[in-house]
Amino acid sequence: MRFGSIAVIACLAALVGLLAYGVASKQTDTSIDQAVASGKRIDAPLATLPVLGRSGSASLADYRGKVVVMNFWASWCKPCIEELPLLERTQRVIAGRGGTVLGVNYKDVSTDALAFVHRFGLTYPSLRDRDGRLADRYASRAFPETFVIDRRGRIAARRRGPVDQRWLDATLPRLLAEHA
């Protein structure tokens, strides 16, 4: 076979490979859901992000030793806004028991997000995931989404969709009772 033909076939194979990689990389990662469903706890992905409404940045790692109710939300997401009062009530209950709610504000205009923080008097912090990279690592696809991280930094529960009091009551007490 001549060199020209080999080169053309190699280039076509490379293009097909590139296309296959592109398609494969867009597949939804289900490892977190599978782990939670089987009762396994895997390390929660970490990222250092700017804090909403304050200077400086923070990471989930800063909350090691606490039970963290990590809630992905955005001001343009109506169900996210509807659950903010419940999350604030939860914060008031768990703050004294070694837990915290941690908002992760997703692809949002900071002033719009802060307007809701003030409107609902949210006392828990929110990090700004402005380009959605942290959400990608949690394979987030339908907002709001909430992940409960145990005191050792592992994902113990997840809720893809709005949380309700019953789910929080079934999830948080046993985790708050655990030691680091």
Sites of contact with other proteins (CB under 8 A): 4, 7-8, 11, 14-15, 18, 21-22, 25, 74-78, 107-110, 112, 130-132
Beta carbons of 98 and 151 less than 8 angstroms apart:
yes
Beta carbons of 100 and 65 less than 8 angstroms apart:
no
Beta carbons of 123 and 88 less than 8 angstroms apart:
yes
Residue with tokens 């930094």: 153
- Please report how close the Cβ of residue 39 comes to other proteins at its closest, in angstroms: 32
- Please report how close the Cβ of residue 2 comes to other proteins at its closest, in angstroms: 10
**Of the two residues 22 and 39, which places its CB atom closer to other proteins in the complex?**
22
- Please report how close the Cβ of residue 179 comes to other proteins at its closest, in angstroms: 38
Beta carbons of 150 and 67 less than 8 angstroms apart:
yes
**Of the two residues 60 and 135, which places its CB atom closer to other proteins in the complex?**
135
Residue with tokens 């997401």: 77
**Of the two residues 99 and 162, which places its CB atom closer to other proteins in the complex?**
162
- Please report how close the Cβ of residue 68 comes to other proteins at its closest, in angstroms: 24
**Of the two residues 65 and 79, which places its CB atom closer to other proteins in the complex?**
79
Beta carbons of 67 and 157 less than 8 angstroms apart:
no
18 is written with which tokens? 């590139």
**Of the two residues 21 and 120, which places its CB atom closer to other proteins in the complex?**
21
**Of the two residues 3 and 166, which places its CB atom closer to other proteins in the complex?**
3
Q: Is 121 left (phi over 0), alpha (psi -120 to 50) or beta?
A: left
- Please report how close the Cβ of residue 8 comes to other proteins at its closest, in angstroms: 7
| Residue 71, C-beta contacts closer than 8 angstroms, at least 6 positions apart | 83, 87, 101, 102, 103, 104, 144, 145, 146, 163
Angstrom distance (rounded) from CA 64 to CA 110? 26
- Please report how close the Cβ of residue 21 comes to other proteins at its closest, in angstroms: 7
